[in-house]
Amino acid sequence: MTRLRTEPNISDGDGFYQELLELHQGRAKEESDAINARLILLLANHIGDREVLREAMRAAADAGL
């Protein structure tokens, strides 16, 4: 049974996406990469559930194939 929520769950998705881009606006790649890594860690801690995190990691890796 999958526990990772894969149905849309963010209200105003376009607004969120814009904020995400704005976060990186005008930053060097190195800086952006560091922010992304910190973001992953903060979100992972918020989720906490190891199974959900494992599924998210798998889904992220598989989607690029």
Comparing CB distances to other proteins, the nearer of 2 and 23 is 23
3-class DSSP state of 45: helix
Instruction: Produce one character per residue of 9-41: b if its CB has 16 or more CB atoms within 10 Å, e if not.
Output: eeeeeeeeeeeeeeeeeeeeeeeeeeeeeeeee
Span interacting with other proteins, options 8-16, 19-27, 35-43, 52-60, rule CB under 8 A: 35-43
Q: Whole-number minimum distance, CB 60 to other proteins, in Å?
A: 13
Number of residues lying near other proteins (CB under 8 A): 8
- Which residues form the interface with other proteins (CB under 8 A)? 33-34, 37-38, 40-42, 45
